[in-house]
Amino acid sequence: MNTATRSERWSGYALLTVMAIAVVIPFLSVFLASLQPAGTPVVGLTWPERWSWDNYEQAWSVAGFSDLIRHSLTIAVGVVPASLVLAALAGYALGTMKLPGGNAVAAFFIAGLTIPVELIVVPLYFDLRGLGLTNSYLGVILVEIALFMPFSVFWMRTHFQSTPPSLVEAARIDGASSGTILVRILLPLARPSLMTLGLLVFMWSWNQFLLVLVLIQDTTKHTAPAGLGFFVGQNSTDIPTLAAGTIIVMLPILILFVIFQRSFIAGLLQGAMKG
Amino acid sequence: MPSRPPVQQPPDVRVESPDVQVRSRGPRRRSPYRGYVYVLPAFAVYFCFAVLPALHTAYLSLFEWDGVTLGDWVGLGNYQEIFQDSILRRSVLNALVLVVFFSFIPIVVGLAMTGLLARFRRPGMGAYRFLFMLPQVVPLVAVGVTWRWLYGDDGLVNQTFRAVGLDGVTRAWLGDFGAALIAVGLVGTWVLSGLCMMLFLSGVQKVDPSLYEAARLDGAGPVREFVSVTLPHLRGEIAVAMTVTTVAALASFDIVYVTTNGGPGEQTTVPGLLVYRLAFSEGKVGLAAALAVVLGCLILGIVYLINRLSRSES
């Protein structure tokens, strides 16, 4: 099918490369700025004369990014497993059983895909404050699980719908209960889907900003993005430390992306298609 | 449902109608509602922490409330204020302008690239795919901080203009009344173009290559081929890209908060920013709730419209 001419190929790759550079340069600019000696005026894209990692130490210890990262991880560790368990259970029932009204319930979940944080954050603050769940990780965890649940349920439901029904039938004939079928047969097969979902949920949890900004007003309890957002308001002049902080906040998700890029990209693209 | 005695069935009936057999196999006939036990936990969390708050927002939007004392019922007064107050109206209009940058331009860029690349196999796409998806995975706050630096006085944008002798063009982009909204919009273009491109390229891979060959044999040029082969096959992907990017534009709190915080003046305020500001620093909770409802309805309406249009066309 290689009907394209040589010049078409070249121009295609040339354009791809130009766009790739356009994507990378902002990252490169902030990375190079983070390596400049602290306090020096930094201009655009400047190669540092001396690679100075002091800014990272500065950001990590003085500006408190180690705490911010820890808080973000605490929340993600609460959100990811719970989301996977709840979504797998619901997706299993909605995807493989003939539930009366099951399609309506599934549609009700899917409708939640359109709920932006902006729509729910105001009463959440007052309601959770009444329950003593503001400035608490538990509050954020519960809301994030709920916020990602429409996608999670939809993702797992689609997965279970695509498993061969004969598998479930055969197990039923052998007398397996629905719980046994899920745990022994379907979940082991669902590992790739669960892993992709776990990565996406981790990413969304990590990147969550507005929700944390509202529900955790105690700045000593902030997460990485919220801390960075706060930090930029406070220290907009100290570019190298700010740049180092930015890199630190991006790093965990970047590492995961490098390791699991296939699952990530497939998840983001398929997820968009399914959503 | 009352439990029933076990029903024995002759084996040949089971084979013929697996549905009946499945239900009556166990020690007792199972209620078809039993499966909801699995749905319940997910539903409960979703309902309590997403659906109820959304309904609560709609309820709050009917009051004038400062968040502390008792609220006053004002009916639809808050909605009326949104349409009359120039700043509130402005925020909705700004969000719609951002749709151009977050949605329209990325889709056009993605389609153009796909048109160029659809005609041949592309070894080495893995690395490009990785790079183009990069802005999708990092926190938007970090993206915002990065671009704030790029747009700054000494940032890369001004550095580039100076390097090519356009010193007159340089300015503090995010603080410039004329340029700020466009500057913020271009951040969205940067974030979402890669996603659109990857969506379209993966969609084009599902097109039967023989269609391209046939078009070639019929003497179709690149443009003709794009219009009559590539574009019709990408309808679903285009609808998805429109949905995702439009929602991103309307709910663009993170980027705006970090880059401009709505300034200069009200040039870059968006609804999300005002919801936050009205509710938590100006003590106008009811008005904030009403604006949130307007934003939610706008998103729901646009998503519905896009899905409707893409379905009726296909």
User: In chain B, positions 166-185, which contact chain A (CB-CB < 8 Å)?
Assistant: none
Nearest to A86 among B42, B150, B159 (CB): B42
The C-alpha atoms of residue B70 and residue B73 are separated, in whole angstroms, by 10
pLDDT of B145 over the 90 cut: yes
B154: nearest CB among A9, A27, A44: A44
pLDDT of residue B314: 53
As a whole number of angstroms, the distance between CA B76 and CA B32 comes to 44
Question: In the predicted model, what is the mean pLDDT of chain B?
Answer: 87
Contact map slice: B 109-138 vs A, CB within 8 A: 113, 116-117, 119-122, 127-138
Q: What is residue B206's three-state secondary structure?
A: coil
CA angle B101, B106, B111 (to 5 degrees): 145
Q: State which fold the B68-312 domain adopts.
A: MetI-like fold (1.10.3720)
What is the ipTM, given to two decimal places? Answer: 0.93
pLDDT at B11: 42
* CATH architecture for residues A69-232+247-273: Orthogonal Bundle (1.10)
Going by C-alpha positions, the residue among A161, A155, A158 that lies closest to residue A195 is A155
Q: Under an 8 A CB cutoff, do A149 and B45 touch?
A: yes
Of the pLDDT bands very low, low, confident and very high (cuts 50, 70, 90), residue B5 is very low
Q: Which single residue is written with the structure tokens 């190298």?
A: A240
CB contact under 8 A, B120 and A4: yes
The mean pLDDT of B113-139, rounded to a whole number, is 86
Confidence category of residue B311, pLDDT binned at 50, 70, 90: confident
Q: Which of B33, B67, B135 sits opposite A23 (nearest CB)?
A: B135
Which residues are within 8 A (CB) of B185 and not within 5 positions of it... i.e. 6 or more apart? Answer: B97, B98, B100, B101, B102
Q: Does B54 touch chain A (CB under 8 A)?
A: yes
Q: Please write down the HEC assignment for all residues of B26-93.
A: CCCCCCHHHHHHHHHHHHHHHHHHHHHHHHHHHHHCCEECCCCCCCEECCCHHHHHHHHCHHHHHHHH
Residue of B nearest to A254 (CA): B138
Highest averaged pLDDT of the listed ranges A7-16, A141-150, B81-90, B116-125: A141-150
Asked whether B267 and B184 are in contact (CB, 8 A), the reply is no
pLDDT tens digits, B260-282: 999 899 999 999 999 999 999 99
Which contacts of B6-9 are long-range, i.e. CB under 8 A and separated by 24 or more positions? Answer: none
A160's tokens: 């279970």
DSSP B169: G
The residue type at B175:
G
d(CA B118, CA B113): 8
Q: How far apart are CA A156 and CA A91, in angstroms?
A: 5
Percent of chain B with pLDDT over 70: 89
pLDDT tens digits for B188-221? 999 999 999 999 999 988 888 888 888 888 888 8
B242 has pLDDT over 80: yes
DSSP label at A219? Answer: G
CA dihedral B128, B132, B133, B135 (to 10 degrees): 140
Digits of tens for pLDDT over chain A (275 positions)?
445 577 777 888 898 999 999 999 999 999 999 998 877 777 778 787 777 888 899 889 888 899 999 999 999 999 999 999 999 999 999 999 989 999 999 999 999 999 999 999 999 999 999 999 999 999 999 999 999 999 999 999 999 999 999 988 999 899 989 999 999 999 999 999 999 999 999 999 999 999 999 999 998 999 999 999 988 877 666 888 889 999 999 999 999 999 999 999 999 998 877 65
**pLDDT at residue B223 in the model:** 85
Query: What per-residue confidence (pLDDT) applies to B29?
Result: 60
**CB distance B50–A147 less than 8 Å?**
yes
Distance CA B209, CA B211 (A): 5
Chain A interface mutation, best of B156, B192, B233, highest count of A Cβ atoms under 10 Å: B156
Which positions in chain B touch A152 (Cβ < 8 Å)? Answer: 42
B306 in A contact zone (CB under 8 Å):
no
How is chain B split into domains, by residue range? Answer: 68-312
d(CA B130, CA B136): 10
The mean per-residue pLDDT over the stretch B37-60 comes to: 97
Distance from CA of B129 to the nearest CA of A (A): 8
Chain A CB within 8 Å of residue B217 CB:
no
pLDDT at B313: 61
Residue B59's closest chain A neighbor by CA?
Answer: A123
pLDDT of residue A138: 96
Q: Per mean pLDDT, which of A96-100, B57-61, B306-310 is the most reliable?
A: B57-61
